[in-house]
Amino acid sequence: MKIASWNVNSIKQRIDHVLRWLKDADPDVLLLQELKCIDDNFPRLEIEDAGYNAAVHGQKAFNGVAILSKHPIEDVKRGLPGDSKDEQARYIEATVNGIRVASIYLPNGNPAPGEKFDYKLRWMDRLIVHARELLATERPFVLGGDYNVCPKDEDVYDPEGWAEDALCRPESRAKFRALQNLGLYDAFRAIVPSGPYYTYWDYKGGAWNKDHGLRIDHLLLSPQAADRLVTCEIDKRPRGWEKASDHTPIWCSLKAAD
């Protein structure tokens, strides 16, 4: 089972790219972030014509997450538990082919320090609580998406220059470690333990051509899913397409259950 994640930075602007990648890469599941549209404006017909079902949690002009799947999408839950007043569309979760999957668009947090950074840390605390609850079920699950966190210095092209950014601050990294320390596995680092690999390149300053990137898109696996991990790769090709998203897809492959 091939599970992918991609921050498309506007599904309206990038629908042709998404359809192209679905055809080329043929994932079973694609987790999307930063849709920037309400549910009614999501290009559902185009996605269904490509052979995929869709569960969407949208928001006008901002945020928005979705799960695309070749298989039926069951038991959909929208919104991260823990704060009934949080109206930002950043989390959607469902069961696909026996695996619980979630598409996550974690808050950026800049400027830091400040209220946006505080919201990011509170959101991560809620994610930790929810992940603990998911682990208690002992079911395989994948929490994939744009985490807006570079876990280590090797995950950013200029560690010193980014040290005070919300994506690299020690508080963000500590929350990410706390999430992993529950027993979750970073799928990419399970396959490629070290080295500079990136999933995001800014539009500014020629970052793509200079390979000035960040690794902020992650697939975190429960132990039951990690036991089935075959491989995990970052597909850089879409970042080089015309009018590309500033993120590129990351995907992992899980073998069938015994």
CA–CA distance, 95 with 101 (Å, rounded to integer): 6
pLDDT at 234: 98
Q: Encode the chain (258 residues) as per-residue pLDDT tens digits.
A: 999 999 999 999 999 999 999 999 999 999 999 999 999 999 999 999 999 999 999 999 999 999 999 999 999 999 999 999 999 999 999 999 999 999 999 999 999 999 999 999 999 999 999 999 999 999 999 999 999 999 999 999 999 999 999 999 999 999 999 999 999 999 999 999 999 999 999 999 999 999 999 999 999 999 999 999 999 999 999 999 999 999 999 999 999 887
Which residues make beta-bridge pairs with 232?
Answer: 252
Please state whether the predicted TM-score (pTM) of the whole model is above 0.95: yes
Residues 6+ apart with CB under 8 A from 121: 109, 171, 172, 175
Contact between residue 246 and residue 202 where contact means Cβ atoms under 8 Å apart? yes
pLDDT at 171: 98
Q: Angle of helix 115-136 relative to helix 170-180, nearest 10 degrees?
A: 10
Instruction: Specify the DSSP element, H or E, that contains 232.
Output: strand 229-234
Question: What is the chain's alpha carbon radius of gyration, rounded to the nearest angstrom?
Answer: 17
173 three-state secondary structure: helix
> What domains can you pick out in the chain, each with its CATH number?
2-254 (3.60.10.10)
pLDDT at 258: 73
Contact between residue 196 and residue 188 where contact means Cβ atoms under 8 Å apart? no
A 10 A CB-CB count for 39 gives 17
Residues 6+ apart with CB under 8 A from 114: none
pLDDT at 154: 98
Contact between residue 91 and residue 57 where contact means Cβ atoms under 8 Å apart? yes
2-7, strands of its sheet edge to edge? 53-57, 65-69, 29-33, 2-7, 250-254, 229-234
pLDDT at 179: 98
Residues 6+ apart with CB under 8 A from 229: 185, 187, 190, 191, 221, 252, 253, 254, 255
pLDDT at 59: 97
pLDDT at 257: 82
183 three-state secondary structure: coil
Contact between residue 175 and residue 128 where contact means Cβ atoms under 8 Å apart? yes
| Residue 88 Cα distances to 34, 62, 106, 147, 171, angstroms | 11, 8, 10, 15, 22
CA–CA distance, 18 with 141 (Å, rounded to integer): 24
CA–CA distance, 93 with 142 (Å, rounded to integer): 10
User: Is the bond into 81 cis (omega within 30 degrees of 0)?
Assistant: no
Token duo for residue 42 = 């999501």
